[in-house]
Amino acid sequence: MPVKVYKPTSAGRRNSSVLDFSHLTKGKRREKSLTERLTHRAGRNAHGHITSRFRGGGARKMYRKVDFKRTKDGVPARVAAIEYDPNRTADLALLFYADGEKRYILAPNGLKVDMKVVSGADAEPEVGNCMPLSAIPLGLQVHNVELKPGKGGQIARSAGTTCQLLAREGKYATLIMPSGETRKVEAACRATIGEIGNKDHQNVRWGKAGRMRHKRRRPHVRGTAMNPVAHPMGGGEGRTGGGRHPCSPQGKLTKGVRTRHKKAKSNDLILRRRPPGKHIAVGK
């Protein structure tokens, strides 16, 4: 799906671009039985305290219930439509199962309307089919990978991401993660064949602050620009360097400090850390 650029009729339009959505099913709106209204809390927790700063406002949107578990084994499904999802970068595929049930799944690249998909260990390793890692041929690209059997896919769910199945040994399978990290995952965990579609999402230029406000992103204010009552680095006459190492409003260091929790079992499964500064999948 190509990126569309408009004539520069304004400063914001000059520096912005959009997806043309030509790959989506024409005239198809969301499946009402699979949607629900969400209440946005503007970054606040149950106590009303802001735990995620600079969030609020934005356009209203309905949440689509996506099937990340793919547990309907042996029941074939027809792809009825490819739809836009405002809650994520990936598109959704609406499935009509043979028993009459409808479900949304993440739409992989190459999945078209009227194609058939199926789940289970006996499924063919084709785009859109969901299988345990123990049944997937080595070398294939997969997405929506589980970290614990039965919990549902947690890895490689955003647009254009994928994991590569490298090897299997005993009860574990070895994967190259989208970050470039190599780690082991239980072979009983499920994954879907193929790469997530809508790859050109990363090439969109938002162009103006208003499009970020539609996404509930409010302006990010520097700590040094605040008053000392609002941030440890605030205050002072004129522009200052903050007077200390960069920190959060609560005083916790934010640069050069490890933030990963020491989970022994999880660390033992990591064979190779991602390269420094690398945030995209290998081969991208």
Residue 76 and residue 129: Cα distance in Å, rounded? 10
Phi first, then psi: give them for residue 11, nearest 5 degrees: -65, -40
Per-residue DSSP letter, 14: H
CB atoms within 10 A of CB 108: 24
Fold category of 3-202+260-272 in CATH: OB fold (Dihydrolipoamide Acetyltransferase, E2P) (2.40.50)
What are the extents of the domains in the chain?
3-202+260-272
Q: Residue 265 has what pLDDT? A: 66
Per-residue DSSP letter, 274: P
Residue 4 and residue 95: Cα distance in Å, rounded? 29
Say if CB 107 and CB 92 are below 8 A apart: yes
pLDDT digits (tens, 9 = 90+) for 47-85: 999 999 999 999 999 999 999 999 999 899 999 999 999
Structure tokens at 197: 């579609």
Residue 87 and residue 230: Cα distance in Å, rounded? 32
Over the chain (284 residues), what is each successive 10-residue block's mean pLDDT? 89 91 86 90 93 92 94 92 94 94 94 93 92 93 94 94 92 92 93 93 93 94 94 92 92 85 73 70 40
pLDDT digits (tens, 9 = 90+) for 104-148: 999 999 999 999 999 999 889 999 999 999 999 999 999 999 999
**CA 257 → CA 118, 185, 207, distances in Å?**
45, 27, 33
CB atoms within 10 A of CB 62: 14
